Structure 1
Amino acid sequence: MFDNFFRNLNKKRLKDDKYLYLFDTPIKGEYVSLDCETSGLNPKKDEILSIGAVKIKDNKIIMRDTFNIFVKPSKNIDAESIKIHQIRPIDLQNAIEPQEAILKLLDFIGNRPIVGYYIKFDIAMISKYTKRYIGIKLPNETIEVSSMYYKTRKKTSEYEFIDLKFDTIMKTLDIPELGKHDALNDAIMTSMMFLKLKDMTPAKTTFYTN
């Protein structure tokens, strides 16, 4: 009940009816795996530098339909943040303005559920921009692969530690690494995690509505 209330409230705040499709019921079996590289870990002050995404349809990763874009920051990125995201000033020379990037992303995602690794952070970052440009937070359902993975681990006690690091999940699931960790590669690897975990726990896939 409360989900519907907040969903309808969000819908009323939409500035452009063109994006009403974000609230439509998604087609069954279709998802988008998404990853963002950012200038830092604070959604309030940091910025998106790149976005990678790939569509999933009928348990297949659609490699011919990917999204990979660099986003122009409002200020120069510092050396410390480069060590984390590995995006250099030269990589951003042909980056596009944030508004164009985000609106292109909305067209790519549509109303599909969004799959990700610690996806709440990515959604918070994207929603900062969507609120500015279309008046609302991103309304799509989200699926967290680390939560799916956690449910597959058998614990000998309630105090046992479960390692949820990206590389650990990859290794445990025997998923190949796709070279360097950039937004698109991470989105593709996350989509592989999702499909493998979905087969392992088909009844336990959990959706989270923002």
Structure 2
Amino acid sequence: MITLTKVPNSLRGDLTKWCQEIQTGVYVGNVSAKIRDGLWDRIMRDIGNGQATMVYNTNNELGYTFKTTRSDRDVIDYDGIPLMMHLVVSNKAVKHGFSDAAKFHKAKIMTHKRLKTTDKLEKALSESIVSIDIETTGLDVTKDQIIAIGAAKKNSCFYSLIKSNTIVPEKISDLTGLTSTILSDEGMDLKVVLIQLKEFIGNLPIVGYNVRFDEAFLEKGYKDTHELGLSNKIVDLMPVIKKTNKFLDNYRLKTVLEDYKISNLHPHRADSDAKATFELAIQLIKKQDLKI
């Protein structure tokens, strides 16, 4: 059972995925220990200025234990029995304030400063990374070929189709919209594209989603064309998402982008996927879930 008071509505919505709200701010559910701990982590992350208390089953004389964020209560262990102790003085120091008008003015100034700092941080972050994505004729790096490469920076995007000496499988054409005819008419030589890609990326760290797949194909491409491969730092966003967001139904890029409310108008098109991945990386950095 979880009780919440004065928490953001978004947190209440998250809990309803796993628990039933039987009364305002009171949630009950039957979940595993892993999910329970995940829920508490989510609560601690998104609680804001609110308060939360969780009660759950455990192997002690009472058959249950609890934890809380309340500043006027403290959970103590009394010979193996958890007790909730009422505190005479709050653990949190009392902040002496001024008039409501003064507080409002101070909050307005602090908000303005915070927005300016956030804008500067976002600008700096967005100019310090590049995202990549590729489309291939299949999943086997030893047999399949790259047919499209996309990369994205803050204000620019790289996109090129690759001529292929193999027939593009029908399922790949259905997925990407690319056919052997399109690649023949509009594609460029792989070596030329890889050189251009390296120039576009420069020395920036590279991010991608399930990027080890892209990295393997690009590494083979540079090797086959006798070009020096990429030496940039490469960061895969998929493990970051799996660590920080344990409640997704799956970890396909489409699902992740929907959860983070990122628009991707042309899924499975390398440039569109790269742009969406770039936006995902920026969100993760701003939330301090990702460090480059």
For the criterion TM > 0.5, the same-fold answer is yes
1:117-156 → structure 2 map (5 Å cutoff): 117-134=209-226, 136-153=228-245
For normalisation by structure 1, the TM-score amounts to 0.71
Higher-Rg member (1/2): 2
Deviation at 1:163, TM superposition (A): 2.4
Equivalenced residues, count = 167
CA distance in 1, matches of 2:141, 2:192: 19
Partner of 2:276: 189
Partner of 1:165: 252
CA contact (8 A) 1:39 1:85 kept: no
Counterpart code for 1:75: T
- Are residues 110 and 94 of structure 1, via their aligned partners in 2, closer, same or farther at CA, if it must alter by over 3 Å? same
Q: Between 185-194 and 29-38, report the one with greater CA deviation.
A: 29-38
Structure 2, unmatched stretches of 5+, are 1-123
- Are residues 182 and 39 of structure 1, via their aligned partners in 2, closer, same or farther at CA, if it must alter by over 3 Å? same
Partner of 1:88: 179
1:113 aligns with 2:205: yes
Larger RCO, structures 1/2 (Cα 8 Å, 6+ apart): 1
Q: CA RMSD in A?
A: 2.3
Partner of 1:72: 163
CA contact (8 A) 2:129 2:206 kept: yes
- Are residues 162 and 151 of structure 1, via their aligned partners in 2, closer, same or farther at CA, if it must alter by over 3 Å? farther
1:30 aligns with 2:128: yes
CA contact (8 A) 2:175 2:268 kept: no
Partner of 1:177: 264
1:50 aligns with 2:148: yes
CA contact (8 A) 2:148 2:161 kept: yes
Deviation at 1:148, TM superposition (A): 2.0
Deviation at 1:173, TM superposition (A): 0.8
CA distance in 1, matches of 2:188, 2:227: 21
Identity, % of aligned pairs? 28
Deviations 1:108-159, CA, capped at 9 Å, x for gaps: 112211111100110110110112334544322111122222232257xxxx
> Aligned with 1:67: secondary structure?
strand
- Structure 1 runs of 4+ aligned residues shifted over 3 Å read 133-137
Structure 1, unmatched stretches of 5+, are 1-26, 56-60, 156-160
Deviations 1:55-77, CA, capped at 9 Å, x for gaps: 1xxxxx22xx2111000012222
For normalisation by structure 2, the TM-score amounts to 0.52
